[in-house]
Structure 1
Amino acid sequence: MSQEQPPKIEFPCPDYPIKVVGKNSDDFETFVVEVMRVHVPDLDVSRITIRDSSKGTYRSIRMFITATGEEQLKSLHEELIASDRVHIVI
């Protein structure tokens, strides 16, 4: 049996979705955006969507970036996940 390989991402990749989930707090969005801007200086904040969990314990922030390469995505993921405020980055 041959297994299908996941599609390769071609860079630059516009509209690359990123979702960050963490504990809900007043400044969680600010924290995430500040980290994102280090790696994505041209982040379009008008395309950010925020959702709180049903009980309000967690908050998810979804945004779209122009991914420039694997190194950018890896660095971004590592910096976000290193924070004890972030539970998952998708």
Structure 2
Amino acid sequence: MTDPKDIDPEAHKIVFPCEDYVIKVIGDTGVGYKATVIEVLKKHAVVDMATLAERQSSNGKYTTVQLHIIATSENQLQDINSALRATGVVKMVL
């Protein structure tokens, strides 16, 4: 087991700009969900559409949309999180 004092807290920090930051958005499956997520992300970041991945939960209630963006700051990531949650269909942003 790793001793907590041996863990470097700096090792997990994001270095900005981050050219390949992964965003996973989980929300209610429905018409326009994916388009809403993409629209919000494009307002706040450069989005690599070639990385788009979409997956539904086993019962089809939720959909996960995953994309890679260029993350420029912690504030940008907080703004993205807030904007996605404000849509009313997003349950979680990872």
Same-fold call, TM > 0.5? Answer: yes
Report which of the two structures shows the higher radius of gyration computed on alpha carbons: 2
Q: Provide the C-alpha distance between the structure 1 equivalents of 2:36 and 2:87, rounded to a whole number of angstroms.
A: 10
User: Which residue of the partner structure matches residue 48 of structure 1?
Assistant: 52
User: Which residue of the partner structure matches residue 2 of structure 1?
Assistant: 5
The answer to whether residue 94 in structure 2 is matched with residue 86 in structure 1 is: no
Aligned length: 89
The two structures have a TM-score, normalised by structure 2, of 0.86
Q: Provide the C-alpha distance between the structure 1 equivalents of 2:74 and 2:86, rounded to a whole number of angstroms.
A: 18
Q: What's the CA shift for 1:3? A: 7.0
CA deviation digits over 1:20-75, x for unaligned, max 9? 000001210000001001101x3121211000011111100011111111111010
Give 1:20's match in structure 2, choosing from 25, 42, 55.
25
Q: Give RMSD over aligned pairs.
A: 1.4
Structure 1 unmatched ranges of 5 or more: none
Code of the aligned partner of 1:87: K
Which 4+ runs in 1 deviate beyond 2 A? 1-4
User: Which residue of the partner structure matches residue 72 of structure 2?
Assistant: 68
SS of the counterpart of 1:16? strand
Code of the aligned partner of 1:2: K
